[in-house]
């Protein structure tokens, strides 16, 4: 697992380096040969990274307006490590409004970090002992494995879901309390102490939205077993299908266990600012908030960024009248285009209305139902200069599922789908 060149590292350092070295070769290939319409038109099109690249024009205009450009002494000095009070107050107001909380949320329950990856790392470290685990339904956003392990040496216990539909009221990869109970019992029978449950809502990579009833059932399960629940709601404003309603856990009238319910949100997805590195934790547990805030010494935001974020969150008129309607319209158009391309190819997929991705069933293109065959197909896409994410990266139990990200500008999206078509049409079924 580790080379002799790592002998100068601690055991932790070798594990950390291994995570970096074992990262998907596709992303290294992409960064060496990135598509550019003018400079590198034969480069790799990235339909694998979940980033919203549709609204740079709107964001650049707003972020360069005069009210964003302010420098004063407090912004250049050490802040409260939870985040400047002016920002935490705006976050509380923002979440109260967009999460439709029954009572105003409180700034004292807000902690600000440089991205939700840092929040996952911090929560795992302060909630779990070394070797303990969180339950997580699969398929799931695979980077969480690294987030919770690197600092806290915390693991994941998988709740394996499958694509089989067993009745009229069921859907592929559906999570139920019964499956949670089975996974918990399985982990405990192996001597693994489970401390919490991680839920992503809207879900990545499925695009599913948990109903209020489902949320209450999952939270009730967690309370019965004294488990913390981490709710990642990073895509909450990226629900583009009008018939769908997202309900934040913060909108529920009564949480079964408020002291063990912790909510994440950030600007990487809903506002297309993954490079800004802003994430926020909302928790009523002040011990948890304080412990996470202590780690903000390593994961804080610059004062200038905190000021810009607060001004943006405060601008409800721009968000509601300009940004959100246009962003959702562009997401829907891009999703429609890719969906139509997949239908034309006869490729099955989950037709959801949230997030930036489509969960695509390419099992019929595998010669054998193995993850080795899945990797070979993924590599054929990469050889044809289009990067996708394969199901194994999300711990999907069924080989042959892929995530296709559609939140890119039309020209790159068209070219990427042309390359996908070339691979599939040349691949024996």
- The yes-or-no verdict on residue 2 having pLDDT over 70 is no
pLDDT tops 70 at residue 19: yes
User: Do 76 and 140 fall within a single domain?
Assistant: yes
Look at residue 115 and tell me if it is in a domain: yes
Q: How does pLDDT run across 217-227, given as a tens digit for each residue?
A: 999 999 999 99
**Tens digits of per-residue pLDDT, 139-160?**
999 999 999 999 899 999 999 9
Q: What is the pLDDT of residues 21-39, one digit of tens each?
A: 777 678 889 999 999 999 9
Residues 48 and 114 in one domain: no
Mean pLDDT of 386-404: 97
Long-range contacts of range 94-101, CB-CB < 8 Å, 24 or more positions apart?
94/313, 95/248, 95/250, 95/263, 95/265, 95/280, 95/282, 97/316, 98/236, 98/237, 98/248, 99/233, 99/236, 99/248, 99/250, 99/251, 100/247, 100/248, 100/250, 100/251, 101/248, 101/250, 101/251
**What token pair was written down for 24?**
């998907």
Is there a single domain that holds both residue 287 and residue 192?
A: yes
Q: How many CB atoms lie within 10 A of CB 31?
A: 10
pLDDT tens sequence across 179-216:
999 999 999 999 999 999 999 999 999 999 999 999 99
At 5, give phi and psi (nearest 5°). Answer: -65, -15
User: Are 270 and 401 contained in the same domain?
Assistant: no
Residues in the chain: 429
pLDDT given at position 1 = 52
Mean pLDDT score, 313-323: 98
Half-sphere exposure of 47 (CA within 13 A, CB side): 33
User: Which of 286, 316, 346 is where one domain is finished?
Assistant: 316
- Is 369 inside a domain boundary? yes
Alpha carbons 353 and 303: distance in angstroms, whole number? 36
d(Cα 229, Cα 324) in Å, to the nearest integer?
A: 29
Confidence grade of residue 5 (pLDDT, cut at 50, 70, 90): low
What pLDDT, on the 0 to 100 scale, is given for residue 225?
A: 98
| Domain's final residue, options 316, 343, 371 | 316
% the chain with pLDDT above 70: 98
pLDDT over 90 percentage in the chain: 90
Collect all residues with Cβ–Cβ distance below 8 Å to 342 and sequence separation of at least 6: 349, 358, 360, 404
Residue 68 and residue 189: Cα distance in Å, rounded? Answer: 55
Is the pLDDT confidence value at 4 over 70?
no
- For residue 65, being part of any structural domain is answered with no
Full 3-state SS string of the chain: CCCHHHCCCCHHHHHHHHHHHCCCHHHHHHHHCECECCCECCCEEECCCCCCCCCHHHHHHHHCCHHHCCCCHHHHCCCCCCCCHHHHHHHHHHHHHHCCCCCCCCHHHEEEECCHHHHHHHHHHHHCCCCCEEEEEECCCCHHHHHHHHCCCCEEEEEECCCCCCCCCCCCCCCCHHHHHHHHHHHHHCCCCEEEEEEECCCCCCCCCCCHHHHHHHHHHHHHCCCEEEEECCCCCCECCCCCCCCCHHHCCCCCCHHHEEEEEECCCCCCCCCCCCEEEEECCHHHHHHHHHHHHHHCCCHHHHHHHHHHHHCHHHHHHHHHHHHHHHHHHHHHHHHHHHHHHCCCECCCCECCEEEEECHHHCCCCCHHHHHHHHHHHHHCCEECEEHHHHCCCCCCEEEEECCCCHHHHHHHHHHHHHHHHHCCC
Q: Domain ends where: 269, 301, 316?
A: 316
129: exposed, middle or buried (C-beta count within 10 Å: 0-12, 13-18, 19+)? Answer: exposed
- Does residue 192 form part of some domain? yes
CA–CA gap between residue 173 and residue 177 (Å, rounded):
13
Range in 2-11, 169-178, 335-344 with the lowest mean pLDDT: 2-11
Is the predicted pLDDT of residue 3 greater than 60, yes or no? Answer: no
Asked whether residue 188 falls in the same domain as residue 278, the answer is yes
Quick check: 428 pLDDT over 80?
no
Average pLDDT, the chain: 95
Q: Tens digits of per-residue pLDDT, 47-81?
A: 999 999 999 999 999 999 999 988 999 999 998 89
**Structure tokens that stand for 208 in this block:** 């599913």
pLDDT at 328 over 90: yes
Number of independent structural domains in the chain? 2
- In this structure, is residue 64 part of a structural domain? no
Residue 6 pLDDT greater than 70, yes or no: no
Report the Cα 47 to chain-centroid distance in Å: 15
pLDDT at position 334 is 98
We report the CATH number of the domain holding residue 389 as 3.90.1150.10
Domain that holds residue 26: 4-58+319-426
Q: Is residue 326 part of a domain?
A: yes
Q: Is residue 63 part of a domain?
A: no
Band of the pLDDT at 113, cuts 50, 70, 90? very high
According to the model, what pLDDT value does residue 345 have? 97
34 lies in the same domain as 117: no
């Amino acid at each position: 697992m580790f080379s002799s060149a790592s002998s100068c590292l601690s055991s932790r350092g070798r594990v950390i380096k291994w995570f970096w070295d074992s990262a998907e070769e596709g992303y290294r290939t992409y960064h060496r040969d990135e598509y550019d319409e003018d400079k590198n038109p034969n480069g790799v099109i990235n339909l694998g990274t979940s980033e919203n690249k549709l609204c740079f024009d709107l964001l650049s205009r707003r972020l360069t307006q005069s009210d964003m450009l302010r420098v004063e002494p407090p912004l250049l000095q050490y802040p409260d490590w939870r985040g400047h009070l002016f920002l935490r107050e705006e976050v509380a107001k923002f979440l109260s409004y967009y999460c439709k909380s029954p009572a105003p949320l409180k700034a004292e329950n807000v902690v600000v970090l440089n991205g939700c990856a840092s929040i996952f790392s911090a929560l795992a470290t302060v909630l779990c002992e070394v070797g303990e685990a969180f339950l997580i339904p699969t398929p799931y956003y695979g980077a969480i494995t690294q987030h919770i392990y690197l600092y806290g040496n915390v693991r994941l216990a998988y709740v394996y879901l499958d694509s089989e539909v067993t009745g009229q009221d069921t859907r592929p990869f559906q999570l139920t309390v019964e499956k949670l109970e089975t996974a918990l019992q399985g982990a405990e029978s192996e001597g693994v102490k489970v401390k919490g449950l991680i839920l992503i809502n809207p879900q990545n990579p499925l695009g599913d939205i948990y109903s209020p009833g489902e949320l209450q059932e999952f939270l009730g399960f967690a309370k019965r077993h004294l488990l913390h629940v981490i709710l990642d709601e990073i895509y909450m404003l990226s629900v583009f299908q009008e018939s769908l309603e997202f309900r934040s856990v913060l909108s529920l009238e009564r949480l079964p266990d408020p002291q063990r319910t912790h909510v994440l949100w950030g600007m990487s997805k809903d506002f297309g600012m993954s490079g800004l590195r802003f994430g926020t934790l909302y928790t009523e547990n002040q011990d948890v908030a304080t412990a996470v805030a202590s780690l903000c010494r390593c994961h804080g935001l610059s004062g200038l960024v905190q000021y810009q974020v607060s001004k943006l969150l405060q601008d409800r008129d721009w968000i509601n009248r300009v940004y959100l309607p246009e962003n959702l319209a562009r997401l829907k158009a891009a999703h429609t285009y890719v969906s139509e391309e997949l239908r034309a190819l006869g490729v099955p997929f989950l037709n959801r209305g949230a997030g930036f991705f489509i969960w695509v069933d390419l099992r019929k293109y595998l010669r054998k139902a193995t993850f080795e065959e899945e990797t070979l197909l993924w590599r054929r896409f990469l050889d044809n200069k289009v990067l996708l994410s394969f199901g194994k990266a999300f711990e999907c139990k069924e080989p042959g599922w892929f995530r296709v990200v559609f939140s890119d500008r039309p020209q790159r999206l068209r070219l990427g789908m042309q390359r996908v078509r070339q691979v599939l049409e040349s691949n024996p079924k």
